Amino acid sequence: MKPSVILYKALPDALQQRLEDHFTVTRVNNLSPETVQQHADAFAGAVGLLGSSEKVDAALLEKMPALRATSTISVGYDNFDVDALNARNVLLMHTPTVLTETVADTVMALVLSSARRVVEVAERVKAGEWTKSIGPDWFGTDVHGKTLGIVGMGRIGLALAQRAHFGFNMPILYNARRQHKEAEERFNARYCDLDTLLQEADFVCLILPLTDETHHLMGKAQFEKMKKSAIFINAGRGPVVDEQALIAALKNGEIHAAGLDVFEQEPLPASSELLKLPNVVALPHIGSATHETRYNMAACAVDNLIDALQGKVDKNCVNPQAKA
């Protein structure tokens, strides 16, 4: 008999088939307590769990005593209680690398669209406001040659630095927990502390995981340190930023504009003050959302689950020490 797994995200047909070649699959819509209750036997007997964007915590693990591996279709895994997984020797697999270049493209799109006011002026054209040759009230600010501050020089930070250095001739400052020789040698990036980066950068780009240390890393005091002309970009996780402090900084003119792919609450409520500000480009968490990359992420997650349940955790495993 094939081992049983729970799938809580739709997969393309070929990948669903690949999963079914290896496992008996129970497909559910979410991991809510009601769903778990409704499929109690399937959850109790499942050795694997595959999906994305749902909370996997100790309460859920209680209902899954046979679980040996979880596989998320994402690189970020802040929605998993890793300590609880470790306590039960449950592996956590994720999808780094396959999405890196696509997410870096998205960050660059946020840099360009917020600096050049692409969304705002395109909306004005659609509204019929382009009735004569445009004046300074339609102008943006240059991107090329400006200083880019990257907070989080990991896989995506590095891919962003590559674009900024070679494509836009931007001097690069960066902050991370440690220095990254590759960024310094290939892109002439300069390591500095966060305060220095905030004071000197024309664009401050966050591409950080959400952890206890990064939660609200950017608050009132940090926005006050930024240049008034600076543009703030967040493509990591929403709660890394104190959103009320960001709104205040934008309203008070402490910073010039913001480009955001992630928010403290997602989906961003339609009532959010951010949506009333013309100097904000707000995207619906589309960092990796291309057909190609989302397919590759799902394929990676399926392969990761197969590998993990065969004891192969040499790559894409967050907690290889949990291998029983």
Ligand X SMILES: NC(=O)C1=CN([C@@H]2O[C@H](COP(=O)(O)OP(=O)(O)OC[C@H]3O[C@@H](n4cnc5c(N)ncnc54)[C@H](OP(=O)(O)O)[C@@H]3O)[C@@H](O)[C@H]2O)C=CC1
- Give the residues lining the site for ligand X (CB under 6 A): 75-76, 96, 99, 103, 152-157, 175-178, 207-211, 213-214, 235-237, 261-262, 285, 287-288
Give exposure, 157-195, as e/b (b: 16+ Cβ within 10 Å).
Answer: bbbbbbbbbeebebbbbbbeeeebeebbeebebbbbeee
Residue 171 binds what, of ligand O=CC(=O)O, ligand X, none (CB under 5 to 8 Å, by partner type)? none
Residue 317 identity: C
Residue 266 falls in the annotated catalytic set: yes
For ligand X, the closer CB: 46 or 183? 183
Q: Which residue is nearest to ligand X (CB)?
A: 154
Q: What's the rounded Cα separation, in Å, for the pair 82 and 90?
A: 9
CB 198 within 8 A of CB 225: yes
User: Of 5 and 303, which CB lies nearer to ligand X in the complex structure?
Assistant: 303
Distance of closest approach, residue 172 Cβ to ligand O=CC(=O)O, in angstroms: 23
**For ligand X, the closer CB: 4 or 214:** 214
Nearest Cα residue to 208 out of 181, 234, 183: 234
CB of 45 to ligand X, least distance (A): 31
Main-chain dihedrals φ then ψ at residue 208, nearest 5 degrees: -115, 150
- Residue 285 a catalytic site member: yes
Q: How far is the CB of 66 from ligand O=CC(=O)O (least distance, A)?
A: 27
Within the chain, strands assigned E span 4-7, 24-27, 48-51, 69-72, 91-93, 148-151, 172-175, 190-191, 203-206, 231-234, 257-260, 280-282
By C-alpha distance, which of 137, 111, 114, 112 is closest to 124?
A: 137
Task: Tally Cβ neighbours within 10 Å of residue 207.
Answer: 26
Instruction: State the binding partner of 244 from ligand X, ligand O=CC(=O)O, none, CB within 5 to 8 A by kind.
Output: none
CA-based torsion, 95, 98, 104, 106: positive or negative: negative
Out of 200, 237, 243, 254, the active site residue is 237
> Has 256 been annotated as catalytic?
no
Binding site for ligand O=CC(=O)O (CB under 6 A): 74-76, 99, 287-288
Neighbours of 126 (CB within 10 A): 9
Q: Considering CB distances under 5 to 8 angstroms, the limit depending on partner class, which of ligand O=CC(=O)O, ligand X, none binds residue 177?
A: ligand X
Closest approach of ligand O=CC(=O)O to the CB of residue 79, in Å = 9
The nearest distance, CB 149 to ligand X, in angstroms, is: 12
Could you tell which of ligand X, ligand O=CC(=O)O, none binds residue 207, using a CB distance below 5 to 8 A set by kind?
ligand X
Catalytic site positions:
237, 266, 285
